[in-house]
Amino acid sequence: MSIPYGKQEITQDDINEVIKCLTSDYLTQGPKVLEFEKAFAKYIGSKYAVAVSNGTAALHLCALALNVKKGANVITTPITFAATANCIKYCEGNIYFCDINPDTFLIDTNKLIELIRSKPKGFFNGIIPVDFAGLAVNLEEIKKIAQENNLWIIEDACHAPGGFFIDSKGEKQLCGNSNFAELAIFSFHPVKHIATGEGGMITTNNKNLYDKLILLRTHGITKNADLLIENHGPWYYEMQELGYNYRIPDMLCALGISQLKRADVGLNRRREIAEIYRNAFKNCKNISIQSNEKINGHAYHLFIIKTKKRLELYNLLKANNVFAQVHYIPVHTMPYYKNLGYKIGDFPEAEDYYKECLSLPMYPTLSKDEQNFIIQLVLKFDEQ
């Protein structure tokens, strides 16, 4: 028995939908793309959605749509996948990291305010908060900070489709619904909630940003007669901006549509697994878990524990064919970002988190026996 930290589930219905697409007239740039976009926007609660080739492409397009240029200054968390920061570097902007809250592992709003105030008014352009592990950032709080400082927000919701927080009015705010952020992004990598192999989605409520994303996704080219500067005939198209080929094929969208139909089933199962883990570890002496006591709606892409003997536990699990993972190595400690001037000691909470964090297996098809086996290994380790 081998138990990975994450795993996709492909059903016969998924396979049938992909086969239908493979035998249709369109493999790419066909009707399944728009169908997936509309279904996803409805699920998330946004007005618009734009399907793209992967989550990194989604981040890059968001930065381009918001006109990030050389010298732009943008804030994000060091506890994220590198792409969250890299998208700003692609546009020759500057990344500023803000340390995390040690209990939630999310960007610390108090430190965010301190960072913004440490620079002249107007220095920063935007913020990219991350719904890390599936725990929703309180974007209402972030939005207030952003409005006071004239900043845009890109929500990195790759870990959190179906996740939510409760706002000050007691209303549920789904991750990516764009009620507080200009744009939000999702990933459909195989270990995510919705798997298409590779793929991503951008959501927004802003029509102008939506139109720009559609243009930038396909080389900056449009055939829309209403947008053309000239029109030589039905064949005519124009490249109006420097765009990219960040399209997603129809066959992957067909898989995404099928996966989306059972997204809530998978989400509920993740929460069941998380609750079992939480109850099992609540009295551990040497194990701590991510706090969500004050924030509802965890989507549980990851279930993260912390232990001062992380390597020993990792090796014990591996010896028993349980393959845990570490999420993430702080971005500012990567050689590329060190070369930009960052160093160990800059963000102590993020660095302390990294020394102890471990992601246990978390996916809907994890069986009760498999989870119990993992729990018993961890509990035995904790007693040593």
Mark whether 248 and 271 lie in a shared domain. no
- DSSP character string of 106-173: SB-HHHHHHHHHTS-TT---EEE-B-GGGPPP-HHHHHHHHHHTT-EEEEE-TT-TT-EEE-TTS-EE
Domain boundary among 229, 245, 260: 260
Final residue in a domain of this structure, among 241, 260, 279: 260
- The last residue of one of the domains, among 260, 295, 312, is 260
Residues 243, 287 share a domain: no
Number of residues that make up the chain: 384
At 297 the three-state DSSP class reads coil
The dihedral through the CA atoms of 7, 11, 15, 20 has a sign that is negative
Q: Is the pLDDT of residue 288 over 90?
A: yes
In this structure, the answer to whether residues 255 and 362 fall within a common structural domain is no
Q: Rounding to the nearest 10 degrees, give the CA dihedral for residues 12, 13, 18, 20.
A: 110
Q: What is the pLDDT of residue 295?
A: 63
Residue 177 belongs to what domain range? Answer: 3-260
Q: Which residue has the tokens 């890390």?
A: 132
Read off the CATH number of the domain in which 364 is found. 3.90.1150.10
289 φ/ψ angles, rounded to the nearest 5 degrees: -130, 165
- Residue 148, token pair as written in the block: 């006071």
R_g over Cα of the chain: 21
The pLDDT value recorded for residue 138 is 96
Residues 271 and 344 in one domain: yes
Q: Are residues 203 and 227 in the same domain?
A: yes
SS3 202: strand
User: Are residues 304 and 224 part of one domain?
Assistant: no
What's the pLDDT score for residue 291? 85
Task: Say yes or no to pLDDT of 254 above 80.
Answer: yes
How far is Cα 214 from Cα 233, in angstroms, rounded to an integer? 22
Q: Say if residue 252 is in the same domain as residue 357.
A: no
pLDDT at 293 over 80: no
- What integer best gives the mean pLDDT of the chain? 97
At residue 307, the pLDDT reads: 98
Clarify whether residues 362 and 221 are in a common domain.
no
pLDDT tens-digit series, residues 317-348: 999 999 999 999 999 999 999 999 999 999 99
Give the pLDDT band of residue 1 (cuts 50, 70, 90). confident
Mean pLDDT of 87-112: 98
Which residues lie below 8 Å from residue 146, measured CB to CB, with a gap of 6+?
126, 127, 152, 153
Beta bridge partners of 76: 97, 128
Structure tokens at 245: 């080929």
Do 304 and 256 have their domain in common?
no
CATH classification of the domain holding 84: 3.40.640.10
On whether both 43 and 141 belong to a single domain, the answer is yes
Taking residue 265's Cβ as centre, other Cβ atoms within 10 Å add up to 10
Do 296 and 274 meet the contact criterion of CB atoms below 8 Å apart? no
Backbone angles phi, psi at 62, to 5 degrees: -60, -45
Do 238 and 304 belong to one domain? Answer: no
Whether the predicted pLDDT of 296 surpasses 80: no
What is the pLDDT averaged over residues 189-203? Answer: 98
Overall number of domains in the chain:
2
Same domain, 111 and 231: yes
| Per-residue model confidence as pLDDT tens digits over 9-64 | 999 999 999 999 999 999 999 999 999 999 999 999 999 999 999 999 999 999 99
Structure tokens, 230: 């000239």
Number of neighbours of residue 188 by Cβ within 10 angstroms: 32
Q: 0.95 exceeded by the pTM?
A: yes
